[in-house]
Each structure stands twice: as C-alpha cells, then as structure tokens.
Amino acid sequence: MIIAVDGPAASGKGTIARALAKHYKLPYLDTGLLYRAVALNVARMGLDPESEADSVAACDFDDAMMTDPALRDDDIGALASIVSAHPLVRAALMQRQKRFAAQEGGAILDGRDIGTVIAPDADAKLFVKATPNIRAQRRHAELQARGGTASKDRVLADIRARDARDSGRSTAPLVMAADAALLDTSFLSIEASVQRAVALVEAQRAKKAAV
C-alpha cells in the first residue's frame, strides 16, 4: 500500500503521516527534508539559491545530512521553497523518492507533489490543510518551544510567502490531486486529525477494492 500525504507548511501532514506509518506499519519518508538538505547545502557552500546550477550542485548530499538539526530551521524551510522551484533540483531528487514509494510492502510519503508527481497511482491520497492563521499559530508555538523569538506576524508572513511560492511555481506546484481526500485540520486535535485520516484512507481503499 502506498499512501501520499500532501499539504502546505504546518497543516499537520507530517504528524498525520507519521501516525499513519505507525498504524499501517509502513516505512515513512518526509520528502521536505530532501529539499531542506539541498537548501542547507546551498547556505553552507555559500551558493545562490536563485541559481538553478548552484542549487543542482547542492543536491549531492549523504544520508548523515538528513538528520542535521539545522534542517528544521524556518529560514531553511524558506530557502527550501526557493531551491525546490528549480525543475533540475526536483529531477535530481525524484528517483530517490520514487524508489522509496515503490519498495516492497508499500510506503508513506509526505510533501507537496506526492499524489500528483511522485506516486500518482498511490492507493490512498490525503491533502491536508488548515487556515494560514492557525498554521502560523502552530509554527510560532513550535519556534517558541525551541527558543525562537520571531513574532507571530513574521511567521504568518513567512507562511504566506511560502504558500505563494509553492503554489505558483510551474513545476510540480502545491495542488490537490483530483483523487485526493481533503482533510482540514484547522479545528481538529491531533488525535481527531489522525482518526479522520485513517477513516479517509480506509474509505479510499474500500472504494478501490470495489472497482
């Protein structure tokens, strides 16, 4: 079984995907980390994120990079959304994601283009959303817990800028797949979001089994 989970920043897709991975005992890949690794490489190598050639040069990283705590920084998220708009960066990371999705026994991946590009034939697809204000609130709380000092307004502005960039790019924009189920977590607890996600996955599997 392949499960695709997409959605904008702080919608809850990672929390939901991790819980689904546990529930269905599937290996899980947070594809945002791949783009964040490229972004961190660009920053550390002093390259230009707006340059496609520079960003492609930063796509060569080893697995140790994927566990670097700096990947979680908000400025790396913003940088990731710049480098991820380059078609050649997306192409460089594509096989790795497709291989993960196609492994025996299935997999669950979360990101922006899993249901549309990486695993268009996924058995279940979720598109997770929440209002920009609520997402900013969540990100702000996370930042504060880590000792960050950015204001809520700053976080909201960053989220809006990232949404616009991710949805507006021409290659693999953030868009809900036609056959995805929508899950709005704005007014749902984590537990309720996960419960709803399992119900939506089960409904999609039942529908597929019936045809």
Interface with ligand CDP in residues 93-122 (CB under 6 A):
111-113
The residue (of 124 and 207) whose beta carbon lies closer to ligand CDP is: 124
For 33, list phi and psi in degrees, rounded to 5. -65, -30
Please, are residues 77 and 49 in contact by the beta-carbon 8 Å criterion?
Answer: no
Site for ligand CDP in 23-52 (CB under 6 A): 31-32, 35-36
Residue 12 annotated in ligand binding: yes
Q: How many residues sit close enough to ligand CDP to count as binding (CB under 6 A)?
A: 28
- How many Cβ atoms from other residues are within 10 Å of residue 106's Cβ? 16
- In the set 3, 12, 41, 155, which binds ligand CDP (CB under 6 A)? 12
Shortest spacing between CB 106 and ligand CDP, in angstroms: 18
Name the segment binding ligand CDP (CB under 6 A); options: 11-19, 61-69, 100-108, 146-154. 11-19
Select the residue interacting with ligand CDP from 10, 37, 47, 124 (CB under 6 A).
10
Contact between 13 and ligand CDP by CB under 6 A: the answer reads yes
Q: Which of 1, 150, 156, 188 binds ligand CDP (CB under 6 A)?
A: 188
Binding ligand CDP (rule: CB under 6 A), the pick from 7, 29, 41, 101 is: 7
Q: Can you tell me which of 41, 55, 84, 116 binds ligand CDP, judged by CB under 6 A?
A: 84
Three-state secondary structure along the chain? CEEEEECCCCCCHHHHHHHHHHHHCCCEEECHHHHHHHHHHHHHHCCCCCCHHHHHHCCCCCHHHHHCHHHHCHHHHHHHHHHCCCHHHHHHHHHHHHHHHCCCCCEEEEECCHHHHHCCCCCEEEEEECCHHHHHHHHHHHHHHCCCCCCHHHHHHHHHHHHHHHHHCCCCCCCCCCCCEEEECCCCCHHHHHHHHHHHHHHHHHHHHHC
Exactly one of 2, 3, 4, 11 binds ligand CDP (CB under 6 A); that residue is: 11
Distance between CA atoms of residues 57 and 3, nearest Å: 31
180 annotated as a binding-site residue:
no
Judged by the rule CB under 6 A, the positions of this chain that interact with ligand CDP are 7, 9-15, 31-32, 35-36, 77, 80-81, 84, 111-113, 138, 142, 162, 166, 185, 188-190, 193
Can you say which residues are annotated as belonging to the binding site? 7-15
